Structure 1
Amino acid sequence: MRLDKFLAESAIGSRKKVREYIKEGSVKVNGEVITEPAIEINENFDVVEYINEIVVYTGKVYYMFHKPAGCITAKTDAVNKTVFDFFDNTSMKGVFHVGRLDKDTEGLLLLTNDGEFEHKIMHPKKHVEKTYFFWALGSLDEADKNQLEQGICIGQDKEIMTKPAKIEVDKFGMYKELKHKITIDNITSIASMHPNQPVVSGYLTISEGRKHQVKRMLKAVGCYVVYLKRISIGGLTLDETLEKGSHRHLTESEILKVLE
């Protein structure tokens, strides 16, 4: 294994950063300072030190996390609970979240220490699809759906239109007709609505990652989102047996599904 890869996968830093550390002379292999990032080492036998401390090889990790509403996607926060607070008994050194979900949004969030994996998912040119389930106040007719599918303006004049999306309406009607089908705990804004308030649920699939994009897209066609849950990234679907606030390792086949 290359020395820079070993260090990056041991949570010392990104591939770019560890190359700098190596060239600066901060890394030793079997007691000898090495300044060539591409040197091959044996991760099972060679002793690698960074600033005179032995580096323990951790390897790549990939987590599926079922994010609950009410926590923020961040490492630390002085006020709010973060997604990392749910990993109390797990070593998260070098692990970061892949993208983010809003504080009030639930669902599938991936965490890893693999920068290349994150790049393949998040880079705009990769167009990895992400599907969200929503409940919203309002209605969606064919013209609205066509706008969402073809691309819609969600910002100021200089912001380009969204890329084509996929929309599937699940339920629609008046609140009084659908309230018994709305079984989501944290929806509070619907319960106080007028019985004749139109509501709609559905699935929106996008291949971008702009701030509040799903909410802004639906708002642009007259719908106010009151519940949002990400259910899939690429070919990977959230494991619904995973309780909110829980996580597990991805399987090898699931890692590949994300990139399908």
Structure 2
Amino acid sequence: MTGSLERLQKVIAKSGVTSRRKAEKLIVEGKVSVNGKVVTELGTKVTPDDKVEVEGVPLTKEEPVYFLLYKPRGVISSVKDDKNRKVVTDFLPEEIEERVFPVGRLDYDTSGILLLTNDGEFANQLMHPKHEIEKVYIAKTKGIPLREDLAKLTKGIRSDGELLKAAHVKTKSVDKKKNTAIIQLILHEGKNRQVRRMFDSIGYPVDKLKRERYGFLDLHGLNAGELRELTPHEVKQLRHLSEKNVK
């Protein structure tokens, strides 16, 4: 029987309600009950037979689903928006009943790969900074950065108290007439508006930005606004990749 015990926050995350970190916060705040009793201890373990409620709503066991979306520009990386703007879950087929949410986020004006799932444990694993999943971005800059300017991005730049750093930067092409450049960046982290902040700091604002690759996944075969389900092998590969990269 002991083998079927799992930590409460992990069970909540697996159900797709929220991430493990947020589940821990809900537990501490007294918003989770097990078999009718409020639980506030993070070490609490439960069995599959225990009745868990989060903010009065019973957990339902959903089968995990995993999607890769080609997020268009002008879309919010969220499940809802108080300004009624388009959100990434609007692109899911109507028959998807699971409570799917984005893994991390892409800015409103940024397009490209975004993963969606109802597996909170999986999402938390991929988003954790120590896992260093490689992400490839293509940026169109206003102005043509010099080599020494781009070198600053790999050395690291301080912005609002954060160190922002690219693992690799390469100029793909330049348009001297329009005074623009196409730059490829590889990041291991994913801080808020990171690429735009980095280019702003060296004086070359980003006009367009796209995330072309996430780990080994790319946008092959998809147009903006289209999505596909990840294969079981791809999910397994992502888990393995995140575990392998732990320092």
Match of residue 238, structure 1, among 218, 237, 241:
218
Structure 1 residue runs of 4 or more that deviate by more than 6 Å after TM superposition: 48-51
Identical aligned pairs, as a percentage?
31
The 8 Å contact of residues 14 and 120 in structure 2, kept in 1 or not, is answered as no
In structure 2, relative to structure 1, the CA distance for the partners of 1:39 and 1:150 (3 Å cut) is same
TM-aligned CA deviation for residue 197 of structure 1 = 3.4
In structure 2, relative to structure 1, the CA distance for the partners of 1:21 and 1:98 (3 Å cut) is same
Q: Any gaps of 5 or more consecutive residues in structure 2?
A: 39-43, 242-247
TM-aligned CA deviation for residue 163 of structure 1 = 3.1
Match of residue 226, structure 1, among 207, 210, 214:
207
Where do 1:85-234 residues align within 5 Å? 85-153=90-158, 155-156=159-160, 159-174=161-176, 196-233=177-214
Select the structure that is richer in strand: 2
Secondary structure of 2:69's counterpart equals: strand
CA distance in 2, matches of 1:244, 1:213: 22
Secondary structure of 2:164's counterpart equals: coil
The 8 Å contact of residues 134 and 186 in structure 2, kept in 1 or not, is answered as yes
CA distance in 2, matches of 1:13, 1:237: 24
TM-aligned CA deviation for residue 198 of structure 1 = 1.5
Residue 38 of structure 1 pairs with residue 74 of structure 2: no
In structure 2, relative to structure 1, the CA distance for the partners of 1:256 and 1:84 (3 Å cut) is same
The 8 Å contact of residues 97 and 109 in structure 1, kept in 2 or not, is answered as yes
CA distance in 2, matches of 1:238, 1:204: 15
The 8 Å contact of residues 66 and 118 in structure 2, kept in 1 or not, is answered as yes
Q: Any gaps of 5 or more consecutive residues in structure 1?
A: 27-35, 42-47, 175-195
Letter in 1 for 2:135: K
Say which one has the larger Rg. Answer: 1
CA distance in 1, matches of 2:127, 2:230: 18
Q: Once the two structures are superposed, what CA deviation does each residue of 1:131-154 show, in whole Å capped at 9, x if it has no partner?
A: 11121111122211211111123x
Q: Once the two structures are superposed, what CA deviation does each residue of 1:94-138 show, in whole Å capped at 9, x if it has no partner?
A: 322111111111110011122221222212222222211121111
The 8 Å contact of residues 138 and 211 in structure 2, kept in 1 or not, is answered as yes
TM-aligned CA deviation for residue 228 of structure 1 = 0.8
Aligned to 1:253: 233
Q: Once the two structures are superposed, what CA deviation does each residue of 1:30-83 show, in whole Å capped at 9, x if it has no partner?
A: xxxxxx843356xxxxxx8667x9976422111111101111111112331111
In structure 2, relative to structure 1, the CA distance for the partners of 1:173 and 1:121 (3 Å cut) is same
- Cα root mean square deviation, aligned: 3.0
